[in-house]
């Protein structure tokens, strides 16, 4: 079948338009949801993370971290760890003063507020983060020990864990 010049150009234009619309559809393909809000909590989990509970406290850690039988400890494949505890206090300010006296020279004070105290102690290869979150007369505290800077997205991982520590709803 022979095509004249006009038919050839029309065919080329249709082919280009079809190709462009296919590209447009590919660009609009839905992505997997990267975060999900855990019902009944104030926690949003990143894909590949899990929420752990211990004695009224909650914390999010990567799924590669394994918790112990009691639920108070979690361990990363590289040896990093998190210990979580719940304490009772009659005074948040007195509690913070005790912690600050114990850790006289923290490397960094990430937060010292009416709700949370987050201190970074030491340097690599073993850096510790002391995170305490206050609510009512209870304090959930965690000691996060990071053993390796080679952990994927180490700063984001530390921040996500620290931000997730709190009293379970």
* In the chain, where the domains are located: 1-30, 35-167
pLDDT the model gives residue 70: 85
Whole-Å CA distances, 44 to 14, 62, 160: 46, 13, 10
Residues linked to residue 111 through DSSP beta bridges, in sequence order: 118
pLDDT in tens, the chain (169 residues): 444 444 333 333 333 343 433 333 344 555 556 777 777 776 778 889 999 999 999 999 999 999 988 889 999 998 899 999 999 999 999 999 999 999 878 899 999 999 999 999 987 767 899 999 999 899 999 999 988 766 668 888 999 999 999 998 7
pLDDT the model gives residue 71: 82
Which residue, 167, 169, 152, 11, is CA-closest to 84? 167
The three state secondary structure string of 78-96 is CCCEEEEEEEECCCHHHHH
CA distance 129 to 15: 60
Return the CATH superfamily for domain 35-167. Mog1/PsbP, alpha/beta/alpha sandwich (3.40.1000.10)
Are residues 60 and 164 in contact, defined by beta-carbon separation less than 8 angstroms? Answer: yes
């Amino acid at each position: 079948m022979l095509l004249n010049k006009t038919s050839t150009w029309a065919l080329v234009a249709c082919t280009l338009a079809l190709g462009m619309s296919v590209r447009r559809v590919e660009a609009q393909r839905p992505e997997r949801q990267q975060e999900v809000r855990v019902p009944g909590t104030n926690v949003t989990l990143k894909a590949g993370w899990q929420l752990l509970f211990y004695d009224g406290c909650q914390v999010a850690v990567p799924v590669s971290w394994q918790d112990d039988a009691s639920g108070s400890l979690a361990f990363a494949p590289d040896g990093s760890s998190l210990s979580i505890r719940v304490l009772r206090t009659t005074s948040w300010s007195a509690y913070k003063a005790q912690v600050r006296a114990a850790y006289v020279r923290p490397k960094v004070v990430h937060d010292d507020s009416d709700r949370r105290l987050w201190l970074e102690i030491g340097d690599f290869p073993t850096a510790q983060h002391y995170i305490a979150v206050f609510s009512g007369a209870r304090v959930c505290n965690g000691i996060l020990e990071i053993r390796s800077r080679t952990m994927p997205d180490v700063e984001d991982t530390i921040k996500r864990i620290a931000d997730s520590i709190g009293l379970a709803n």
